[in-house]
Structure 1
Amino acid sequence: MFALPSRAELKRAALLSLITTALCLVWPLGALAQEAAQAAASGSAINIDLGTGAGLTQRVVQLVGLMTVLSLAPSIVIMTTSFVRIIVVLSLLRTALGMQQSPPNAVLVSLALFLSAIVMAPTWQDAYDSGIRPLMDQQMELPQAFDAASEPVKTFMLAQVDRGDLALFTRLSKITPPTDVQELPLRVVTPAFMISELKKAFTIGFLLFVPFLVIDLVVASVLMSMGMMMLPPVVISLPFKLIFFVLVDGWRLVAGSLVESFQRGVGGG
């Protein structure tokens, strides 16, 4: 039989473990501090110099604005691109198939991002050539570069937006409707574009639901006629919906139709 350790031995073991853990934590920190001191002494440290003088406040404000834009970049990508329509349609397609977890959200979001990149590539290239490149070459100031870069994005959104939604947000913003919709600010165009995208996504989702709903109804009718009312129809209809979607090459049709719906550039009326 093994003898149980005494209380003193347990205390010594716990103290030894505590000392070992502390050494393991402190030793790397000391090495990192030494490397940081050597880097500072050699002049290789990273410094952010905002300068001095009257322009200091302006540069600080620009830096804060840049950090804010970078933190909001994912939201900007969602609000001003084709991502909204694509991800909503893919989510509704998964629901129509009767699968709640497959494909997983990560797969749907990744596919939506790649399809959005295909749709938005010409617009982003125009925005880069119009505003970002002149700003990097110091040919434009930041406000002018922002206006020039946002113009192609606004043109893309106006090509897809419903005119009724545009009139709604123009009225809610309490601004006078301009003669040219291109003169509308982004705070009006962006929410109108998002509402229009949701409307179109739901319309496409309804069309996707119809064939799978027919399969569910047929399977439910067959099960009731056979007296198998205790068997959930979803269990039987799911394989039929999957094989139907595969046979018609559904993923290719859905992806191609989504991208082509933007490339046609037909706005709502």
Structure 2
Amino acid sequence: MAGQVKAVVIAGNGTNCEREVAFACRLAGAEVADIVHIAEFLAGRVRLEDYHFLNLAGGFLDGDDLGSAKAGANRLLHAPVAGGPSMAEQIRRFVEDGKLIMGVCNGFQLMVKMGLLPALDGNLMQQSATLTFNDSGRFEDRWTYLAVDGASPCVYTRGLDGLYLPVRHGEGKFVPASDEVLARIEAEHLAPLRYADEQLRPTMDYPLNPNGSTRAIAGVCDPTGRLFGLMPHPEAYLHRTHHPRWTREEDLPEEGMGLWLYRNAVQFIRENIL
């Protein structure tokens, strides 16, 4: 039906947040928010071209056996699709059509290892950074403050100053492949989110920065701002009852901060794609 925002969440092989992500898309105003197993794409029964907003959810793709999301990245880059273009080609066309991709936690790791982020100069499918083991050497499950770079082209963080979202990961440390890549990320404001203290000042101090990520980077976008990945989980804070202090802070708004990212995405689609 014309005029409908259509989101899709890829599931399978270890994802475990697809239902929350689909629910966030619906709450944000998307008329369609399908959860589709990767096998359906590879069998050619579902095509990305039918959607506007691709979501790569959190979880533990393939048990992280080759490192976080590496096996999943290889699958999407190289696995053939029955009777049609490969997933890599479908994703390339999806991006060329001006559509949106958002990866959360394992989905962020997947985007980085596929070369979808930071995608400097539009060079898709060329890995130029990674996400590796937390400096603490353990799985981190805690809530974090996030400072927003208002100069970033990121579609999802427009109009925001700061966020408070949970992290839960063992390999969340963002590391660029070179000083040149880091310099480009900084100069082009491609790090819209950074771990911060309560005053929203970016920090490398643990546990405010839960993984030791380079320059406190918690999220990265491509130069268009349409491709975005972050380690914290926005889909885990959609309502005040998701907040860890909701029984003690009576002035919390009903709407959780994580919903703001999805609403910005849906608004962008309505204004620029439909």
TM-score range, shorter chain: under 0.3
The higher radius of gyration belongs to: 1
Q: TM-score, normalised by structure 2?
A: 0.25
Q: Which has the higher strand share?
A: 2
